[in-house]
């Protein structure tokens, strides 16, 4: 935290590897921008930069097992106009302890006292991911829940049919070739399947699969702009713009006909793809999610209809969402008959509620 240019007691400086002549690192873990000429403007124009101590970024993570925060200090340095961010500890160790491949992400610089804020060279040691994990287990800062508990595990087909039972995850890994980590992730509900199978443990309550999506992805910004920015809320957007996995109030779902139950449509006009293997490719798994709707407008023509992209038996096609909603929630129509038109009672093509549609 000391930004003074006055050296600390016993502090030594040397060039940062890969940034010679531009930045220096100290034996105490400080980073300094050195005074240097920087070209600017036309011909021989430029200026001298000022010498200064760089501010470092602090990353904090909570270790819930021991109830303590862990720390990592990093700094962004510029080279050839590109900013490169690394742990300061890597620079200190490479310069003042021993040289190593600083770009090798499998090599980790760790801290003898466990405090990532103590960057003195004497507090640092080089290890790898495997040794780091073993040390965490030994110090009881992490645990191997599935291996130590030796949970029995059930192997299921995608449809839920029981195929086999194994005494432990290790046994399942050895006999099926599936990764132990992936099997554990299935049991925890972080992924849906591994190697074409679902996995459950009789001694753990199955968790519902949670599809991780960034909050920004819940709002269809592109479609909102194409529709002329209608009045809505980003927290609770209108159905056509809502990509959140949770059901809206009063929302009901039905399988979309002709898609082998790969998609669902709601009475509010949302389309949801279900978790499934892609047709003909048993190794490719697609996650379930609410699909983005597509405007039919162009630069010269305003949007008058919202479309969705569907696929069945390897073939992709587009369909009017309003036609699908009317067909599934009002009354059956010939979806391929172009003479049948769906209109909107309030003249808003983005209001796809079944109550707003008429022939």
Going by DSSP bridges, is the β-strand pair 162-166/153-156 parallel, antiparallel, or unpaired?
antiparallel
Q: 308 pLDDT band (50/70/90 cuts)?
A: very high
Alpha helices in the chain (DSSP H): 88-96, 129-138, 145-149, 169-176, 180-188, 221-226, 321-329
Asked if 23 and 33 count as a contact pair (C-beta separation under 8 A), the reply is yes
Q: Own/partner pairs for 14-19, CB < 8 Å, 24+ apart?
A: 14/95, 14/96, 15/95, 16/77, 16/91, 16/95, 17/91, 17/94, 17/95, 17/99, 17/102, 18/79, 18/102, 19/77, 19/79
End-to-end CA distance of the chain: 69
Question: Is 210 among the domain residues?
Answer: no
On whether both 255 and 317 belong to a single domain, the answer is: yes
What tokens were used for 78?
């510029």
- In the chain, pLDDT over 70 holds for what percent of residues? 89
Tokens 């040794």 belong to residue: 131
* Gyration radius from the chain CA atoms: 29
On whether both 242 and 353 belong to a single domain, the answer is: yes
Question: Is 168 among the domain residues?
Answer: yes
On whether both 223 and 344 belong to a single domain, the answer is: yes
Alpha helices in 118-251 (DSSP H): 129-138, 145-149, 169-176, 180-188, 221-226
On whether both 175 and 193 belong to a single domain, the answer is: yes
Q: What is the mean pLDDT of residues 16-38?
A: 92
On whether both 220 and 191 belong to a single domain, the answer is: no
On whether both 271 and 352 belong to a single domain, the answer is: yes
Closest CA to 191 of 213, 208, 203: 208
Tens of pLDDT, residue by residue over 255-307, are 999 888 789 999 999 999 887 666 554 455 666 789 999 998 777 788 889 99
* pLDDT above 70 (res 359): yes
Question: Is 2 among the domain residues?
Answer: no
Question: Is 177 among the domain residues?
Answer: yes
Q: What is the mean pLDDT of residues 319-323?
A: 94
Question: Is 73 among the domain residues?
Answer: yes
* pLDDT above 80 (res 102): yes
| CATH assignment at residue 305 | 3.90.75.20
Asked if 353 and 268 count as a contact pair (C-beta separation under 8 A), the reply is yes
Question: Is 107 among the domain residues?
Answer: yes
In whole angstroms, what is the distance from residue 197 CA to residue 186 CA?
9
Q: What are phi and psi of 130, to 5 degrees?
A: -65, -50
Tens of pLDDT, residue by residue over 156-206, are 987 788 999 998 888 888 888 888 778 877 887 777 777 778 888 876 555
Q: What is the mean pLDDT of residues 21-31?
A: 95
Residue at a domain's end among 113, 138, 163: 138
| Mean pLDDT (the chain, rounded) | 85
On whether both 89 and 188 belong to a single domain, the answer is: no
Residue 208 has a pLDDT of: 47
Residue at a domain's end among 155, 176, 200: 200
Residue at a domain's end among 106, 138, 170: 138
| CATH assignment at residue 186 | 1.10.10.10
- In the chain, pLDDT over 90 holds for what percent of residues? 48
Q: Out of 88-97, 135-144, 253-262, 310-319, which region has the weakest mean confidence (pLDDT)?
A: 135-144
* pLDDT above 50 (res 212): no
On whether both 256 and 319 belong to a single domain, the answer is: yes
Residue 210 has a pLDDT of: 45
* pLDDT above 90 (res 92): yes
Q: What is the mean pLDDT of residues 343-347?
A: 94
On whether both 104 and 222 belong to a single domain, the answer is: no
Q: What is the mean pLDDT of residues 134-148?
A: 66
Question: Is 155 among the domain residues?
Answer: yes
In whole angstroms, what is the distance from residue 243 CA to residue 239 CA?
8
pTM recorded for the entire structure: 0.48
Which range marks the domain in which residue 101 is found?
13-38+45-138
Q: 230 pLDDT band (50/70/90 cuts)?
A: very high
Q: What is the mean pLDDT of residues 206-227?
A: 68
On whether both 150 and 115 belong to a single domain, the answer is: no
Residue 25 has a pLDDT of: 96
On whether both 240 and 337 belong to a single domain, the answer is: yes
Number of domains in the chain: 3
Residue 277 has a pLDDT of: 63
What tokens were used for 239?
């159905």
Q: What is the mean pLDDT of residues 44-60?
A: 89
* pLDDT above 90 (res 4): yes
Question: Is 123 among the domain residues?
Answer: yes
Residue 216 has a pLDDT of: 58
Among 77-86, 131-140, 200-209, name the most confident range.
Answer: 77-86
On whether both 329 and 221 belong to a single domain, the answer is: yes
Q: 73 pLDDT band (50/70/90 cuts)?
A: very high
Residue 57 has a pLDDT of: 94
Cβ neighbours of 290 (radius 10 Å): 22
């Amino acid at each position: 935290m000391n930004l003074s240019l006055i050296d600390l007691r016993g502090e030594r400086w040397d060039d940062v590897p890969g940034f010679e002549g531009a930045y220096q690192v100290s034996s105490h873990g400080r980073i300094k921008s050195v005074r240097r000429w920087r070209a600017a403007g036309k011909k021989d124009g430029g200026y001298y930069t000022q010498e200064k101590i760089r501010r470092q970024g602090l990353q904090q993570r909570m270790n819930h097992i021991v109830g303590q925060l862990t720390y990592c200090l990093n700094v962004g340095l510029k080279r050839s106009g590109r900013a490169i961010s690394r742990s300061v500890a890597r620079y200190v160790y490479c310069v003042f302890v021993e040289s190593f491949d600083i770009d090798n992400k499998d090599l980790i610089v760790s801290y003898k006292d466990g405090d990532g804020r103590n960057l003195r060279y004497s507090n640092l040691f080089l290890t790898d991911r495997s040794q780091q994990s073993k040390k965490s287990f030994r110090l009881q800062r992490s645990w191997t829940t599935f291996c130590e508990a030796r949970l029995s595990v059930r192997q299921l087909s995608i449809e839920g049919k029981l195929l086999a039972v194994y005494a432990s995850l290790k046994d399942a890994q050895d006999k099926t070739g599936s990764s132990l980590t992936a099997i554990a992730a299935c049991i925890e509900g972080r992924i849906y399947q591994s190697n074409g199978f679902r996995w459950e443990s009789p001694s753990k309550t199955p968790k519902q699969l949670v599809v991780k999506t960034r909050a920004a992805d819940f709002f269809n910004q592109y479609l909102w702009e194409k529709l002329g920015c209608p009045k809505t809320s980003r927290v609770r957007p209108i159905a056509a713009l809502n990509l959140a996995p949770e059901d809206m109030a009063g929302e009901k779902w039905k399988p979309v006909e002709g898609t082998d139950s790969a998609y669902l449509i709601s009475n509010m006009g949302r389309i949801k793809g279900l978790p499934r293997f892609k047709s003909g490719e048993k190794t490719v798994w697609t996650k379930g999610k609410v699909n983005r709707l597509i405007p039919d407008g162009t630069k010269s023509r305003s949007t008058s209809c919202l479309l969705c992209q569907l696929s069945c038996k390897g073939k992709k096609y587009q369909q009017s969402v309003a036609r699908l909603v009317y067909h599934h929630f009002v009354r059956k129509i010939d979806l391929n008959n172009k003479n049948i038109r769906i209109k909107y009672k309030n003249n808003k093509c983005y209001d796809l509620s079944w109550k707003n549609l008429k022939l």
